[in-house]
A and B are shown apart, each in its own frame.
Chain A
């Protein structure tokens, strides 16, 4: 009775270890976001040119989790919103092989010279009225944009800030539901904190879940305002049109650089968009393959 299970276990163990691991010593360990994330979608569209991520990208539910993982893993690389970066190195990005490598600083993002910068959006179904409008206008005001900078994101260039004119009347206690981007959830929450401190009487509640979650909530009618780190795509606009009979209202509220980070000990000096695409679609698998250009 005892020998057979033992032999079986040993056989299985040998088999498992014998399963030649396709991973080499200096494999690039890829970290990314879950597919409900606007950051994920943005990266896919603008860096991967809509190609699929390699299946070995480890997907984590939040930029902070990605940073946490990268900070502990010396072979790793990850991407995420600039506002969260701590404890890892950001790598300057080159648009193509001949361009200079650009750091994701405020100037570079606002001027557009950092190749992977994006807008962060509020989406509503109807043109904002009343308390919602007051809140949106405040977010776009100097105060709101200052909060944005304190959190670590970049404010909108001044000419963009007039999208929602202030003047919404704050009617009696109203609750504003904000759902969506995990990239923006901290920002949204800080906005809510400051706004509610300044204008008691309106309640702003913020939940995350990913841009996709917020957009789905907007379509399902479950939220007033959706935070999204990517623009709505045609399919989603069509769904809103089908459900509400009109196009959604798009309000850019901040700017963000999508930072690429690596472990502190990684000497990578710069990386180009083409190289990022090759890594994240699985075509380039090891640091050695990435080439001496980076090291």
Chain B
């Protein structure tokens, strides 16, 4: 009987280990397949050049630039807001209050909203409401901001990544030992002084993690930007807030479905996917490493 239990135990344990292995294998297969097909086409010219000959030659620089500009704008919007909200939740608010409860509920739900609904939000609120209103008020009815552009796409993505930043910041704030704060309060510091001079400096790496994760998410999402600003072929780079932009993820989607010559664009397609993957991968890996360093420090200290 005991041997039977031991056998089942072993089988069960290996089953769970196998599940882990399968998941790791899935990741490896995707990365491997894309790397193998995408690496050969990669070159300096590819990253810095313009697309040519109907996307069958040349590079993807405008898409890279557009993605970078988009994500930069998004970060400028989401990080201050997210960090401030997290500071309120953790440093200022009384934990039992109704407001805290509702905010946390809202955050959890915001994280679960489908990406395409964010796209609808961008269209219905940013473009058709705020943008159209701005056009009426400041531009005398001309079409300036009441159309898809990088500003609205960035704002839409900012709302999408807000939960990521808030959660990561809160985790960072929680990691700062209470004793630090208590010492500061005892010395007569005000709440803001404690936050500004004691807590925040200690939480920088955690906030950075959150920012990096948000950037990675923002660079990868396509559905929210499909109707709020991304374009397939633009002969210029986005320089004004109401310009449209090319973007890596959207470029992949369009190339997969609309390229003129499927065989000719396949190498470019794979290479573009590879670039996007390497980008998000590098960002995620950095964030993960920073986070595990923080957690290790937390456990030790």
Point out residues on A near B: beta carbons under 8 Å: 60-65, 67-68, 71, 83-84, 86-87, 151-152, 182, 185-186, 189-190, 192-193, 196, 203-208, 221-222
- Give the 10 A-B residue pairs with the shortest CB-CB distance, closest first: A62-B258, A62-B257, A65-B257, A186-B260, A61-B257, A207-B231, A68-B262, A189-B233, A64-B259, A186-B54
Chain A's closest residue to B230 (CB) is A207
Q: Which residues of B contact A67 (CB under 8 A)?
A: 262
* Residues in B whose Cβ lies below 8 Å from that of A222: 143, 147
Give bound CA distance, A205 to B237, whole Å.
11
Closest partner residue, chain A, to B52 (CB atom): A193
Tell yes or no: B190 within 8 A of A by CB: no
Interface residues of B (CB under 8 A from A): 52, 54-55, 143, 147, 231-236, 244, 254, 256-263
Q: List, sorted by A's number, 29 A–B pairs whose CB atoms are closer than 8 Å.
A: A62-B254, A64-B261, A65-B256, A65-B257, A65-B258, A71-B262, A83-B260, A84-B260, A84-B262, A86-B261, A86-B262, A86-B263, A151-B54, A152-B260, A185-B232, A185-B233, A186-B260, A189-B54, A189-B232, A190-B54, A193-B52, A205-B234, A205-B236, A206-B233, A207-B233, A207-B244, A208-B254, A208-B258, A221-B143
Q: A196 contacts which chain B residues (CB < 8 A)?
A: 235
Name which of B254, B261, B262 has the most chain A CB atoms within 10 A of its CB: B262
B258's contact among A152, A185, A190, by CB below 8 Å, is which?
Answer: A185
In angstroms, Cα B144 to Cα A221, docked, is: 12
CB pair B232 A204 closer than 8 Å: no
Name which residue of chain B comes closest to A84, CB basis.
B260
Contacts of B260 in A (CB 8 A): 64, 83-84, 151-152, 186
Q: Which of A84, A192, A206, A208 contacts B261 (CB 8 A)?
A: A84
Distance between Cα atoms of A63 and B259 in the complex (Å): 8
| Residues of chain A lying within 8 A (CB to CB) of residue B54 | 151, 186, 189-190
Interchain CA distance A185-B261 in the complex, whole Å: 13
4 extra A-B contacts, CB within 8 A, seeds A203-B236, A205-B231, A205-B236:
A84-B262, A87-B263, A186-B258, A193-B52
For the complex, what is the distance from the CA of A196 to the CA of B235, rounded to whole Å? 9
Q: Which of B52, B231, B258 contacts A64 (CB 8 A)?
A: B258
The docked-state distance in angstroms from the alpha carbon of A207 to that of B236 is 13
Asked if residues A205 and B257 are in contact (CB atoms below 8 Å), the reply is no
Chain A hits for B147, CB < 8 A? 222
Q: Which residues of A contact B259 (CB under 8 A)?
A: 62, 64
B66 to chain A, nearest CB (A): 13
Is there contact, CB below 8 Å, between B262 and A87?
A: yes
Q: Give Cα A68 to B256, complex, Å.
A: 9
Whether the Cβ atoms of A205 and B263 lie closer than 8 Å is: no
Shortest distance from the beta carbon of B272 to any chain A beta carbon, whole Å: 15
Nearest B residue (CB) for A208? B232
Complex Cα–Cα for A152 and B232 (A): 20
Q: Which chain B residues border A60 with CB–CB below 8 Å?
A: 257
